[in-house]
Structure 1
Amino acid sequence: MDETGLPAGWEVRHSNSKNLPYYFNAVEKISRWEPPTGTDTEKLKKYMAQHHSGSGSIGGTAGQPQQQQGPPEGKIRAAHLLVKHRESRRPASWRESEITRTKDEAATIIRAHEQRIRAGEATLGELATTESDCSSARKRGDLGYFGKGDMQKEFEDAAFALQPGQMSGVVETASGLHLIERLE
């Protein structure tokens, strides 16, 4: 195991199409978004924070022209922090190959994040970088622009109800528990 915390043969690579890190095994020619079994998640978390976290700028998103003014027609832009649990649709993430926490444990974790954000101790983007179970953590939770029908209904309803700069309370979807911040 090296500084990444990944098992032998695995490495972190960067997807140019999604602008996200992923895991690749050169021997078996396997790639995946979630870390492989046997990963030292604490080491990986530190490595990802040092080498694969955003620079702090939420400026342009991949595939979006930098000069664009405002969101495309009918679309909004939001960031989120996701905490998965063992009943989530896919109980795995870039942080953990198998998520075993209960929904109640996930709720306790996300409420603590919500308190820190509302108290001004951290921003959603800062926490998402190391604490979110979504691969959008690489982009400080930024999901880019999306319209009606692009996201799970509960997520979409909450996101579209926010004004730019506002953050939701805890939102539950099949993916897990979210805090959502409307960016544009």
Structure 2
Amino acid sequence: MADTQETGLPPNWEVRHSNSKNLPYYFNSVEKNSRWEPPAGTDSEKLKVYMAKHHSPAAGGSHGAGEGKIRAAHLLVKHSESRRPSSWKEAEITRSKEDARKILEGYQARITSGETSLGELAVTESDCSSARKRGDLGFFGKGDMQQAFEEAAFALKPGEVSGIVDTASGLHLIERLD
């Protein structure tokens, strides 16, 4: 994570990369909110330099396979405590975290039994906009995802599916693709 001096962002803000939109966005690590536009108080000159260096296609960004990158898909079930409790399926998600866990455990059992695949389920059941791509998040490297998600994804071998992973976004099952 880059520091405020390098990015020009106000305290507690950082630049992250959206794999579903393949664009950088701004995340406040204290308030747990995100936005597409730089927050108030940003030093736009410093931010321009930082973005050119770290988030342009020439910089490599997160635009395809590179050194140390993996590719994974996920199935996300959000709950009322998720940082954005809404999705392409539901304007307001009110289920409890425990209910989300039970739903995901059911999906996990169907995947483990061979009845269906994570990708097939993600298309209709994932609360992430990556659902339309069978949950595929594309290639990403260390530092691109929330820590718990990243640790679980990097621990998998291609073809393996994780147990339930809890992040600020919700609960996930992750399948390592490449």
TM-score bracket for this pair, using the shorter chain length: 0.5 to 0.7
Q: Distance in 1 between matches of 2:161 and 2:98?
A: 21
> Considering only aligned residues, what root-mean-square deviation do their CA atoms show, in Å?
1.5
TM-score normalised over the length of structure 1: 0.63
- CA–CA distance in structure 2, aligned partners of residues 76 and 101 of structure 1: 32
Aligned to 2:101: 107
Partner residue, 1:127? 121
TM-score normalised by the chain length of structure 2: 0.65
Unaligned runs of 5+ in 1: 1-16, 20-62, 65-70
Say which SS state the counterpart of residue 75 (structure 2) adopts: strand
Structure 2 residue runs of 5 or longer lacking an equivalent are 1-19, 23-62
Identical-pair percentage: 71
Distance 2:140 2:95 in 1: 30
**Residue from 139, 143, 149 that aligns with 2:137:** 143
Find out whether 1:117 has 2:111 as its counterpart. Answer: yes
SS at match of 1:77: strand
Q: Which has the higher helix share?
A: 2
Aligned to 1:43: none
Q: Deviations over 1:81-124 (max 9, x none)?
A: 00000000000000000000000100000000000000001000
- In the aligned structure 2, how far is the partner of 1:18 from the partner of 1:100? 25
Aligned-residue offset at 1:18: 3.6
SS of 1:109 mapped into structure 2:
helix
Q: Deviations over 1:1-39 (max 9, x none)?
A: xxxxxxxxxxxxxxxx949xxxxxxxxxxxxxxxxxxxx
Provide the rounded CA distance (Å) in 1 between the counterparts of 2:117 and 2:70. 20
How many residue pairs end up in the alignment? 119
CA distance in 2, matches of 1:166, 1:176: 20
In the alignment, what sits opposite 1:81? 75
